[in-house]
Amino acid sequence: MRDDLVERLSAPVPRYTSYPTAPHFSESVGPDTYREWLGNLGGRNRLSLYVHIPYCDRLCWFCACHTRQTLRYEPVEAYLKGLFREIDTVGGMVSRDAAVTALHLGGGSPTMLRPQDMIALKRSLSERFQFATDAEISVEMDPNDLDEARHDALAEIGLARASLGIQDFDPKVQKAINRLQTFEQTRAVVEAVRSRGVRSVNCDVLYGLPHQTLASLGETVEAVVSMRPDRIALFGYAHVPWMKKHQAMIDAASLPGVAERFRQMTMAAEMLVARGYQAVGIDHFALPADPLASASRDGSLRRNFQGYTDDQADALIGLGASAIGQLPEGYVQNMPATGEYLRSVNEGRLASVRGYALTSEDRARAWVIERIMCEFGFGLECLRRAHPSLAATLIAEGRAIASADRDGLVQFGGGRFALTEKGQAFARTVASRFDAHFGKGTARHSVAV
């Protein structure tokens, strides 16, 4: 593909892990609204829990998450006490008849928790929420944190999916992003979790990193594939130093340009498919027998704040500083600053500080955007059934987008709006054309590839 076309089509757009996206949340949705939404959850609802541990013992310069570095454990202990209070408060507002089908511990580095604290956290959640017997528990893992005692604790809490951040194995790249981690360390973690019965391993790989080349990325992909993880996420590094100040530690001159990023993405994706992985959405790959691959094939693939998922829960409850929840009525986010978060939860108050109440139009546009992100298009009749009052408007927009397309990105016909093979690499760009909020406000985004 021509470099000038790639650069034009890769203009910054949202990642669409929600619609509307987080920059459009406001203080109009606060604790009172959240309390009401939590009270509406009952036995008919399946719940997914996300618990945010914002602490790391090192600061990775590429990271865009809400994190804090600490070399002392005392701040982590204080945070956990507050987190347990929030679990008590939120859990007391939700019906015990609502079953938890998934739990994800993210961060930060959840694996820096001491073994006894991992177990105490799971116990606290189980005391306040009803876990289904087959609830899937997943944890983001930093291989540098792990030891035998932590592996045993993770097994005790029922770890089912281990998600390992790798980024790149090239030492030059690792030094530039302050993430030193050997292949041997990573392989040892994969072997340790599998020996304890973990049935699924996910590995995160980044392209677009400083000093990264096609050759170095190719070597990383080969090394990752040699461990045969069940899932691989291939993310483009989002350089947003205006939002994450520590990213200024990365020399922007060492970053590959947009056209080179596109070549890296394309090469890595082709390698993964050639080695037996099924492409899932825009940036995930899974072995054919994995539930994520099955969800992609049967049309049940979903997208939320953790990315692509086969989780079919009706509501996602976020716990911890900065955590975002997604409920039937809309989105809610906790305050990001840990100090303010702890003051609220330790006083028995909800920590929610902003959110968004969905309108019928938002729901319809969210459905269209999610289908584009998950299956590169949508059926017109499916849209009519899902959102009958807005279908005509969105179908007309789809027809207009296709008529104006001069780049061969989309097709409209045969009862479907669909991205072409060329257009699939720019799904975020196409999705943005259905986004009624895009371009309003001061939000800045990362490039589309």
Name which of 14, 97, 44, 18 is nearest 309 in CA terms.
18
Taking the CB of residue 413, how many other CB atoms lie within 10 A of it? Answer: 10
Q: Quick one: pLDDT at residue 443?
A: 65
Is residue 441 helix, strand or coil? coil
Q: Quick one: pLDDT at residue 63?
A: 80
Q: Quick one: pLDDT at residue 104?
A: 98
Alpha carbon 303 to chain centroid distance? Answer: 8
**Pair 435, 23: CB distance under 8 Å:** no
Residues 351 and 252: their CA atoms lie apart, in Å, by 36
The values of phi and psi at residue 354, to 5°, are -160, 170
Taking the CB of residue 12, how many other CB atoms lie within 10 A of it? Answer: 15
Name which of 323, 326, 316 is nearest 353 in CA terms.
323
| Paired sense of beta strands 159-167 and 200-207, if any | parallel
Alpha carbon 55 to chain centroid distance? Answer: 18
**Pair 321, 353: CB distance under 8 Å:** no
Name which of 223, 231, 177, 156 is nearest 201 in CA terms.
231
Q: Say which residues have a Cβ less than 8 Å from residue 439's Cβ, sequence separation at least 6.
A: none
Is residue 322 helix, strand or coil? coil
Residues 332 and 18: their CA atoms lie apart, in Å, by 12
Residues 327 and 43: their CA atoms lie apart, in Å, by 15
Q: Quick one: pLDDT at residue 175?
A: 95
Helix (H) or strand (E) holding 316: strand 315-319
Buried b (16+ CB within 10 A) or exposed e, 361-383: ebbbbbbbbbbbbbbbbbbbeeb
pLDDT tens digits, the chain, 449 residues: what are they? 788 888 888 888 999 999 999 999 999 999 999 999 999 999 999 999 999 999 998 888 878 777 888 889 999 999 999 999 999 999 999 999 999 999 999 999 999 999 999 999 999 999 999 999 999 999 999 999 999 999 999 999 999 999 999 999 999 999 999 999 999 999 999 999 999 999 999 999 999 999 999 999 999 999 999 999 999 999 999 888 877 788 888 999 999 999 999 999 999 999 999 999 999 999 999 999 999 999 999 999 999 998 999 999 999 999 999 999 999 999 999 999 999 999 999 999 999 999 999 999 999 999 999 999 999 999 999 999 999 999 999 999 999 999 999 999 999 999 999 999 999 999 999 999 999 999 776 666 677 67
Sorted by where each starts, the structural domains of the chain and their CATH numbers stand as: 3-357 (3.80.30.20), 360-432 (1.10.10.920)
Helices (H), 92-182: 115-128, 148-156, 171-177
